[in-house]
Structure formats: C-alpha cells, structure tokens
Amino acid sequence: MPDNSLPVLNWLTDMDGVLVHENRAVPGAAEFLEALRRAERNFLVLTNNSIFTPRDLRARLSRSGIDLPEMNIWTSALSTAAFLKDQSPGATVYVIGEAGLTTALHEAGMILSETDAEYVVLGETRAWSLPAITRAINLIIGGAKFIATNPDPTGPSPEGILPATGSVAALITRATGIEPYYCGKPNPYMMRAALNRIGAHSEQAVMIGDRMDTDVISGLEAGMRTILVLSGITQRGDLGRFPYRPTRICDSIADVVPLVEEFAR
C-alpha cells in the first residue's frame, strides 16, 4: 500500500468524465490544471483513446476551453509504444489503428511492416477493414505476438455505440485462440509508464478517475493514491459493489483543486 505520509507532488488524471464530458470542459477543469501549473507539479492527463496523437488531442481540448501542452498528455498508444520499446526495441509490427498509434510506434523506433511482423498491434480505428483484420489473424496464426491498446468494448457516437478495440480484439481472438496483451487501462502498466515518463515515484503520486473498474483499480495496483470523481461513470451508489476503495471521493474536479496543496503537505 502507498505510504500516505509522503507528500504528493505528481498527478495523473483521466481525461473523459473528469476534465471533459462529451467535448465540453467539466467546470473546474481549467482551474485544476492552472493549480497544478502554479504549484509546479508534474502531471499527465491520461486517455485510453488511441486514435489521436497528443497534438490532435491538444487541439481538441483547446476547442473545449482547456489549454494542455502535448507533453502533458499520455495515451494508451504511447503506453503501448513504451511497452514495445522496452520489450523489443526496433521490432517489426503490423498495425491496425490511426495516426495516434502509428505515430507513437514510429517515434518509439518500431518498424511498421505488412509481412514478417513480430507483433500485431491493434488500436482504435473508425474504418475497420476486413482485409486488415484477416491479415492480422494470419500473422498471429503464423506466430506474431498480439498486443492491443485498450480492452474497451464500445465507445460513444451520436448514432449510438460503436464497437471499439476490445470488440475487434474479441473477433481476432475467436479466430486465432490467442488473447491480446493490453497496454492501456486497467493495466497498471499504463500508470507505471506514465510515472516513468515524468520521473515520478508511485508513493508521491495520485491518480484521478471517474471509473472504479479502470482508473481507481489501476492507480491502486500501481501503488498510487487515488481520487474518484463522481462526474462520470461510477456513481456514489455503485461504490459498495467494489472490494477496494479510493483514497478520496469528490463530486467533481472542482473539489480536487484545493487538494493540490493539501496532498503536498
């Protein structure tokens, strides 16, 4: 368990449901980021979305009224790239995904290949291609290792839900009998890699999220303190179902602003 007597100088926070909600800033989000900057805390904003690069996300957030430098954004695509860079530097990979994933893998020194791939790397895409999925299946049957960015089965869209990475992974698993290794939440590797990125130790770090089953559990498993905000998925009435609890519960990010100072003492 984390040593709660040490000051918290490093902050990780989930993005959707905490800072933004359907492309609108949650009240208090801008003030929270300003408090972190003013106090000179290390911080990263995390998202399991692997479609966008940090630059794309920065532009999208800025349209919601949130000013966040690229260097403060950590995606499941970056976590996946960090994992491969550590595990298999310069590996050949076959990628199903968008610029967020291909850019991260390229910058991590991976070699993108349609044949002879050592890894199949699956991320989010909005244009699922049966030929690409078929190629991935055959590469895995031929011995390629199977990695995916995040297990989320669905995502939101104006027309209803969309099948997401976890659902396409299930299709590939059904065809191959091979389960992927996921590098995004709820794998605590996503938090560990984020802490490495900012040079922080887990005992002096806190993770904020709106989901008990992803944000809070992975923060806890990475040895961090955790804050649940009730502005997203998990509601107060759900808390009793979980065998673990966050360090602190707040109604929204607005109530976290004073904790930037309180947790540093």
Binding residues for substrate: 185
Would you say 96 or 209 has its CB closer to Mg ion?
A: 209
Using CB under 5 A as the binding criterion, the count of chain residues that bind Mg ion stands at 4
Would you say 17 or 117 has its CB closer to Mg ion?
A: 17
255 as an active site residue: the answer is no
**Which residues, listed in sequence order, are joined to residue 228 by a DSSP beta bridge?**
209, 249
Distance CA 51, CA 61 (A): 14
Residue 50 in contact with residue 244, Cβ under 8 Å? no
Nearest approach, Cβ of 137 to Mg ion (angstroms)? Answer: 31
Annotated binding-site residues for Mg(2+) read 14, 16, 210
Paired tokens of 91? 């590996």
- Provide the 10 A C-beta neighbour count for residue 215: 32
- Provide the 10 A C-beta neighbour count for residue 59: 12
213 as an active site residue: the answer is no
92 residue type, one letter = T
Measured from each CB, the residue nearest to Mg ion is: 17
Catalytic residue among 14, 56, 152, 215: 14
Binders in 216-245 for Mg ion, by CB under 5 A: none
Asked if 124 interacts with Mg ion (CB under 5 A), we say: no
Q: Which of 16, 56, 118, 152 forms a contact with Mg ion (CB under 5 A)? A: 16
Helix-strand-coil split of the chain, %, nearest 5: 40, 20, 40
Closest to 78 (Cα-Cα) out of 182, 179, 193: 193
Binding mask 192-221 vs Mg ion (x if CB under 5 A, - otherwise)?
Answer: ------------------x-----------
Catalytic residue among 3, 16, 86, 238: 16
Q: Which of 9, 10, 14, 82 forms a contact with Mg ion (CB under 5 A)? A: 14
Of 15-23, 53-61, 89-97, 190-198, which segment contacts Mg ion by CB under 5 A?
Answer: 15-23
Would you say 21 or 135 has its CB closer to Mg ion?
A: 21
- Contact residues for 241 (Cβ-Cβ < 8 A; gap 6+): none
Asked if 56 interacts with Mg ion (CB under 5 A), we say: no
Of 17-25, 141-149, 178-186, 254-262, which segment contacts Mg ion by CB under 5 A?
Answer: 17-25
**How many angstroms separate the Cα of 213 from the Cα of each of 88, 143, 221?**
30, 32, 12
Distance CA 241, CA 136 (A): 38
205 residue type, one letter = A
Residues involved in catalysis: 14, 16
Which residues here bind Mg ion, judged by CB under 5 A? 14, 16-17, 210
